[in-house]
Amino acid sequence: MAIRVALVGTGNCGRLALIQLIEDPRFELVAVGTSTESKVGVDAGELAGLDIRTGVAATPGMDDAIAAAPDCLVYCAMGDTRPVEATRDVMAALAAGINVVGSAPGGLQFPWGAMPEKAIARVEEAARQGNSSVFITGVDPGFASDLVPFAVASTCQRIDQIKTMEIADYATYDGTEVMSIVMGFGNPIDQPGMLFLPGILGAAWGTAIKMLAAGLGVEVDEITESYELEPAPEDIEVATGVIAKGTVAAMRFEINGMVGGRPVIVVEHITRVRADLRPDWAQPAQPGGSYRVEITGEPSYVVDICPTSARGDHNYAAILAAAGRIVNAIPDVIAAPAGIRTTLDLPLGTGKGLVYQV
């Protein structure tokens, strides 16, 4: 019997998750929720860009998705700028007995030590009430910063440091809220985006650092953060508009998980809107962008992850990977004990069910 699923959030990640929820025979789509007024009433197949009519039309918000009583809710609504509201949405589904997988709120990827204890307790109580579980993931933070480094680390005899990296050109990324408000592309250099407010980098990627630490069996003493911004040498056109000369056009930031005074777990991001900006910073392993896991130890490793897609460029492929990680976790999350689940709890994802018989 197919797993009954609902989706809330029809932006970049949600739309690509919707493609799989429609096409993958393991699932039966029963509801779609959207916050975009122009999408209300539109068939899910059209929202996904497919030449398919599903008979499931998008409705506003969460209510109809919960009323449909799916086995699992795929929650891909914006969480970066509304973490409290996103957490409340997830709690409402959990309390109603609906399992949740999704991309937000990011703090639930590994909340211990990253979210207030009272907030964690409220989510756990909602899960106990509904005998349901929640798993939040993505690419980075997500499988490139937990699943992949864990797999590689499992072959080492000694580990001195694990570094995870995203190196990407975001010129074709069309998420205006993320580009402008969160990251601050196009802002004056002295007015950085929300991401660079004190403590935000550590909060956003602290989940990844804390999860890696838990897997490694070490305690993080302190999380430190730093960043650099680079101005545009001239006006640069991107998917979300124009990055004016002199405003933020490239950034490099680093979050360090300190253990015994050493940066044992490191997250680094290098994000540009044109490939030639700051050539002294690390370059991707493929044109456009890639992810990298570097382990210093015995043996040491450099592992480059280069997502591509026949349907779009490197940014599309990365979002597609996030959507796939989310959707493919559904069966394991349904089978998991009630509560907040993480990569450390779930079985190893193997791609089971993805070789379609045609």
- Domains, the chain, ordered by start: 3-138+319-341 (3.40.50.720), 147-306 (no CATH)
Rounded to an integer, what is the distance from CA 124 to the centroid of its chain? 21
pLDDT tens sequence across 341-356: 999 999 999 999 899 7
What does the pLDDT read at residue 168? 98
- DSSP lists the bridge partners of residue 248 as 231
* Interatomic CA distance for residues 146 and 148, integer angstroms: 6
Q: What pLDDT score does 338 carry?
A: 99
- Mean pLDDT for back-to-back runs of 10 residues, the chain (358 residues): 97 97 97 97 98 97 97 95 95 99 97 93 99 98 97 99 99 94 97 95 95 98 97 98 98 98 98 98 98 99 98 97 98 98 96 79
In the block, which residue shows the tokens 């109580």? Answer: 125
Residue 292: partners with Cβ closer than 8 Å, 6 or more residues away: 163, 164, 165, 166, 167, 282, 285, 302, 303, 304, 305
CA distance 19 to 209: 31
Whole-number pLDDT of residue 356: 73
Is residue 342 within 8 A of residue 145, CB to CB? The reply is no
Residue that is written with structure tokens 């089971």 in the block: 352
Note the pLDDT of residue 357: 57
- The whole model's pTM is what? 0.95
CB of 232 closer than 8 Å to CB of 243: yes
What pLDDT score was predicted for residue 350? 92
Identify any residues that bridge with 74 across adjacent strands, giving them in sequence order.
Answer: 7, 101
pLDDT at residue 201, rounded to an integer: 95
Strand partners, 101: 74, 135
Provide the pLDDT for residue 80. 86
Q: d(Cα 119, Cα 75) in Å, to the nearest integer?
A: 18
State how beta strands 133-136 and 339-341 pair. parallel
**Cα(191)–Cα(184) distance, integer angstroms:** 8
